[in-house]
Chains A and B, each alone.
Chain A
Amino acid sequence: MFGNLVFLLTDILIFGLVLCIVSFFVYAMRKPHLRKPWRQVVRKKAGVISIIILSVYIGIALLDSMHFHPVLVNQSNNPGEVQYSGEVLSVLDQMLSNLRMSSEKTYSAPFAAHLYAKETIQLPDGTKQRVYPRLSWGAVHLEDPENQKTADIIKLALIGVIKTFLVWSVLVALLCFYVSTKAKNSFGKTVRSMFSGESEIPWITAVITLAIVLLVLVVGAEWATKYHVLGTDKVGEDVLYQALKSIRTGVVIGTLTTLLMLPFAITLGIMAGYFRGWIDDVIQYLYTTLNSIPGVLLIAAAVLILNVYMSKHAEEFASLTQRADLRLLFLCLILGLTSWTGLCRLLRAETLKLREVDFVQAASAFGVGSTQTIFRHILPNVMHIVLITLVLDFSGLVLAEAVLSYINIGVDPTMNSWGNMINSARLEMAREPIVWWSLAASLFFMFTLVLFANLFADVVRDALDPRLAKQ
């Protein structure tokens, strides 16, 4: 079913990041001082809720990061040979293929059976009439949409609820089973202690959140088999599909930007604080200079230069997707370049403080060298700042993407992103009657991600803050 795989640059980076995070957690689970704050995160309600919701987002982004050239069916001249299309699709595209293929002519409202604009059609008797024509995919199974639609939507929703319940029960049972085997307790006893309201991890909150998330996903999927749940845009593309595709863009920008800036920020920040003297001066001058250049200006210049380069060297890119991907990566890079200074400054200050602390002095009394001191004594003690910044910056960067795309210096216009959706909504809002669903969909998806990323950041900060940990 899948053709040969394509690895876009951002795919490699994002899976690399996932690998790093997973190995960090495997490592952290073995070290009590690292494990403790993360245990605290899962013991807070806000922490549990945001972890569940963020993992749905990240899951979708990861599915959307596995790219391949699909196999071309029925076009091959000789049957033994497999031909691949030049188009690059992701696993998510494959899963949502009915949404991807189901284009309408133009705008249609959520759950609509008809287009949002009148068209002149020719009736069988030859007369012409201006009507709202039926959609070519949405609600085509209904004979009489006006009367049947509500019942049909409710019916689909009910099916969705039943399916949700089944999936949820299985998942909760598996969860209880896992916990009971891990705690080496009997199944019934585990369940009772988990849901008595006195367990350390808020299991009740966890399973309720899981139920709500599943409900939204399954009922949405159920509706999406027959309707455009969030309507269609100007060229008739499904808005839900666009919004889902935009998740990857947001997540990539939010994570890769920080990832790309981390080496600069950590090395330079710690070096400035540890060695002081002229090294500190050079690094300080560097980041004050960078900080005084308006970020938007720098980004605009960089993106425009890249645009010129790409249009001059169009032949270097195998596909439009690859081209858009390079632009996305470049945007991450330039955003990273303008945003490492904050973390660098924090790390410099913390290192300045740490190098005078007794345990670093004790190490130098043993003749421990600079490199070892940095890696063994300084770096592990500033990691909490790095983590907090990483999580806090995430939501800011997702929003930055939206703003930059809005002024046309963000991601490639062919790439799905919330910023691009909002950008196109500029005209839609001025239209009469207005088209609100594109804007609403992108705002809702973005809002949910940013909100829970912020909640998660709060919990992480509380857990990692040494001042709070002491109490």
Chain B
Amino acid sequence: MPDICLYCQVHQPYRLRRYRFFDIGTDTDYFDVEANRSILRKVAAKCYLPANQLLLRMIEDSSGTFRLALSITGTVLEQLADAAPETLESFQRLVATGAVELLGETYYHSLASLADRDEFEQQVVLHRMTIHKWFGKWPTVFRNTELIYSDDLASVVAGLGFQGVLVEGAERALGWRLPNFVYEAATAPGLVVIPRNYQLSDDVGFRFSNRNWHGWPLTADRYASWIASSPGDSVHLFVDYETFGEHQWADTGIFEFLGHLPAECARRGISFVHPRDLAKRQPVDKLAFPTPTSWADTERDVTAWLGNGLQHAAQQRLYALRDRVLLSGDRRTIERWRRLTTSDHLYYMCTKWFSDGDVHKYFSPYDTPYDAFIAFMNVVEDLEQALAPQLVEQPPHLAWPGYGEMACMA
């Protein structure tokens, strides 16, 4: 009988406001404070609060057998502290039960792992300190933004002191192997790799309310039986926390499903385990990830964030500023730059599925990926001008993309 390892991702970005070209040099409010607050409160009311409450009850009712892991980004913690402190407290109560393991990740839910190793390490450390500050825990298992992972990253993660890492169970890396075991990173001996069972995870995350799906309606009973009949040592279910109440609304029965899961699992002898428990197990094999994988889209690669010219241009332009941003020594500038590293900004620029009209997929505050690009580039332009006073003297039209980088190199 396999064990079950449940982990949920909690994240909200700082969405940009509609920053226009003529705001550059005159306006330093990059983020839509009102929209971010109201979205956060809405998500808190629909998902975080009711789900936390339910989990708390499940933990109490199960007398210590039900457990799960959460990974909470720095950007969502900041926003909770600001706009919904009672929700933050409810997370703290949940963690205080001891049944919730907190994972490590980048503070800003960024793509720094693909752009700048120094920045990546700094953001991971920043997140670790923040988790300790709010929850008094030190994460020992790592999950990168959107489960992005490759061989290059393994040694960096191990170097930061983590014992395990969560990855996507992509066929490209697994080959004939099952995701229901733990493996060892090919490039970092001792680092345990825990692959996501995307089939069973997406049954809950994406297909739960799909009436055309053969598994509908999905009950805890049926789901537990699928897990019980799965081969392997442990089934790794990784989903967004917003699945509960936000992606899948309460009226789909998602909370009832979650609430009944521990009893249905217990009935079949399935135990819940933490990622840190799995990180202590003996890996069955080594696993190599030559190219980056992620849990996004059917491609399970990084093209959702770095798949077109807009995204590459935006990412390069942003990271080209890093040295000067840090050298400025200005706390507010550094913080704002780092908030721009949040992966969501690039995700909004994704054009992969856009023509198919599948715009809802993006949870994007923009009409089009092109609007996302313009707002982002305008903000970066403003940030750059503020960094280099000599550029402000130039008429704005001379500050073409690339100009800043050239100035930096010279």
A binds B: no
Query: Which residue numbers of B lie inside 8 Å of A, CB to CB?
Result: none
Query: Which residue numbers of A lie inside 8 Å of B, CB to CB?
Result: none
